[in-house]
Amino acid sequence: MNQSFIINQLAEERESYFNAVAPPIIQTSNFAYPTVDEFKFAIENEKEEHIYTRGNNPTVDMLCKKMAALEGAEDCLMVGSGAAAISNAVISQINAGEHIISVRNPYTWANHLMTKILTRFNVETTFVDGTNIENFIKACRPNTKLIYLESPNSWTFELQDLKGIAEFAKSKGIITIIDNSYCTALCQKPLEFGIDLVVYSATKYYNGHSDVVAGAICGSREKISQIFHNEFMTLGNILSPQNAWLMLRSLRTLSIRLKQSSETTLKVIDFLKNSDKIEQLWYPFSNDNPQIELAQRQMKMPMGMFTVSFKEKRVDKIKKFCESLQNFLIAVSWGGHESLIMPKCAFVSADDPQVSMLRFYIGLEEASTLIDDLEKNLAIL
Ligand SMILES: Cc1ncc(COP(=O)(O)O)c(C=O)c1O
273 in the same domain as 244: no
Q: How many domains is the chain built from?
A: 2
- 330 pLDDT tier (thresholds 50, 70, 90): very high
Q: pLDDT at residue 1 above 90? A: no
- Tell me the percentage of the chain whose pLDDT exceeds 70: 100
Atom 12 (ligand 1) nearest CA: 201
Q: pLDDT at residue 315 above 90? A: yes
Pocket test for ligand 1, best of 103, 198, 199, 204 (most atoms within 8 A of CB): 204
- Tell me the percentage of the chain whose pLDDT exceeds 90: 99
Q: Is 333 in the pocket of ligand 1 (CB under 6 A)?
A: yes
260 in the same domain as 242: no
50 in the same domain as 175: yes
Ligand 1 mean position, distance from CA 154 (Å): 10
299 in the same domain as 246: no
Atom 15 (ligand 1) nearest CA: 107
Across the range 343-354, mean pLDDT stands at: 96
- From the list 57, 242, 282, 202, the residue with the least C-alpha distance to 49 is 57
143 in the same domain as 56: yes
Q: pLDDT at residue 326 above 90? A: yes
Ligand 1 mean position, distance from CA 41 (Å): 37
364 in the same domain as 237: no
169 in the same domain as 20: yes
- Segment 218-248, tens digit of pLDDT: 999 999 999 999 999 999 999 999 999 999 9
- Segment 76-96, tens digit of pLDDT: 999 999 999 999 999 999 999
Please report the pLDDT score of residue 336 as a whole number: 98
Across the range 7-24, mean pLDDT stands at: 97
Please report the pLDDT score of residue 131 as a whole number: 98
- 154 pLDDT tier (thresholds 50, 70, 90): confident
Q: pLDDT at residue 194 above 90? A: yes
237 in the same domain as 188: yes
CATH code (residue 347) = 3.90.1150.10
Please report the pLDDT score of residue 368 as a whole number: 98
> Last residue of some domain: 235, 251, 267?
251
Rg (C-alpha) for the chain, rounded Å, is: 22
114 in the same domain as 34: yes
Range of the domain at 299: 255-378
